[in-house]
């Protein structure tokens, strides 16, 4: 086991115990990754300065505050009465009053602390899909952690060692909980500004549902025959348009956590240059 690996594991266990001071001490001996792992070496990326915030159509971005150089977020897992479009409502599960959960946005090298409070009538966890993580922060209930019980709050904490279009979702009874809506996007911007930078960035989570007419909840037992396909939890005509100006450079990030299906997307009548 290399020093880096050992320091990384130490920081993981320290973070789960809530001992931030210990985390810093544990990572201080690491050489190669010291600048990434040590939050003091990387000031938290600021919106409007270090990155241009993404737009989540029909959605929201999770607010944060900075505490001792760490970006602190709070997700609340809870039941949400969600309107897919006018006339189509269901009791779903989401985060912070939304389906899907708000977009988490950060910058490569940021240290993030994400509290997850469980207000569902069932245990839950959050898995950070695609995120490079220390063991114990992966959010796989029954494997890398005890699931978060009703009324409990669990603290996830890790340093972002990559940039990209990532996601988060429940990983306790996940086929049920994801079928109920428990997912969101996690965008990590590059630390070094890319050239040319997009003028606008949009983020979409694609999903699919089975909502039998006359019922109050999505059917989580469905495996193949879905009847509602959503962009950020909405179906036309409730999907808001993407607004941009001629000549602007646009980036659209897609995540798809549908149970089964692929969704090729086509920009109808938009003349494109893929540069």
Which residues are near Cu ion by CB under 5 A?
Answer: 129
Nearer to Cu ion, 183 or 211 (CB): 183
Quote the least distance from Cβ 160 to Cu ion, whole Å: 17
**Residue whose entry in the numeric block shows the structure tokens 């309107």:** 83
Conformational region of residue 118, where left means phi above 0, alpha means psi within -120 to 50, and beta covers everything else: beta
Distances (CA, A) of 140 to 127, 136, 146: 6, 8, 8
The sign of the CA dihedral 101, 127, 70, 150 is positive
What is 60-117 written as a DSSP string? -B---EEETTEEEEEEEEEEEEEEEETTEEEEEEEETTBSSPPBEEEETT-EEEEEEE
**Residue 33: CB atoms within 10 Å:** 16
Nearer to Cu ion, 82 or 129 (CB): 129
Nearer to Cu ion, 30 or 145 (CB): 145
Quote the least distance from Cβ 207 to Cu ion, whole Å: 13
Quote the least distance from Cβ 141 to Cu ion, whole Å: 13
Two tokens, residue 103 = 């977009």
Quote the least distance from Cβ 129 to Cu ion, whole Å: 3
**Contact by Cβ (8 Å): 179, 222:** yes
Q: Residue 51 has what DSSP assignment?
A: B
Nearer to Cu ion, 42 or 129 (CB): 129
Nearer to Cu ion, 70 or 131 (CB): 131
- The span from the CA of 59 to the CA of 140, in Å, is 26
Q: Residue number with the shortest CB distance to Cu ion?
A: 129
Nearer to Cu ion, 92 or 257 (CB): 257
Quote the least distance from Cβ 185 to Cu ion, whole Å: 12
Quote the least distance from Cβ 167 to Cu ion, whole Å: 6
Distance of CA 192 to the CA centre of its chain: 21
Nearer to Cu ion, 34 or 259 (CB): 259
Cα within 13 Å of Cα(155), Cβ side: 15
Quote the least distance from Cβ 169 to Cu ion, whole Å: 5
**Residue whose entry in the numeric block shows the structure tokens 């920081």:** 11
């Amino acid at each position: 086991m290399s020093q880096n690996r050992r320091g990384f594991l130490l920081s993981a266990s320290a973070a789960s115990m809530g001992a931030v001071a210990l985390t810093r001490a544990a990572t201080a001996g690491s050489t190669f990754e010291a600048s990434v792992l040590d939050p003091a070496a990387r000031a938290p990326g600021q919106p409007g300065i270090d990155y241009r915030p993404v737009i989540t159509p029909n959605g929201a971005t999770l607010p944060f505050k900075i505490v001792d150089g760490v970006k602190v977020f709070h997700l609340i897992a809870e039941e949400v009465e969600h309107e897919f479009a006018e006339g189509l409502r269901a009791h779903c599960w989401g985060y912070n009053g939304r389906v899907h959960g708000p977009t988490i946005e950060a910058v490569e090298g940021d240290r993030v602390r994400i509290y997850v409070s469980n207000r569902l009538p069932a245990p839950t966890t959050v898995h950070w899909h695609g995120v490079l993580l220390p063991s114990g922060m992966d959010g796989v209930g029954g494997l890398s952690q005890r699931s978060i019980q009703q009324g409990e709050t669990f603290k996830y904490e890790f340093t972002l060692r990559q940039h990209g279009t990532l996601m988060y979702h429940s990983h306790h009874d996940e086929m049920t909980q994801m079928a109920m809506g428990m997912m969101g996007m996690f965008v990590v911007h590059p630390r070094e500004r890319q050239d040319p930078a997009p003028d606008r960035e949009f983020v979409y989570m694609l999903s699919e549902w089975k909502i039998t007419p006359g019922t109050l909840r999505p059917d989580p037992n469905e495996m193949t025959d879905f009847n509602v396909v959503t962009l950020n939890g909405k179906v036309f005509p409730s999907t808001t348009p993407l607004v941009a100006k001629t000549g602007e450079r646009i980036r659209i990030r897609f995540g798809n956590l549908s149970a089964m299906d692929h969704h090729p997307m086509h920009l109808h009548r938009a003349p494109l240059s893929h540069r």
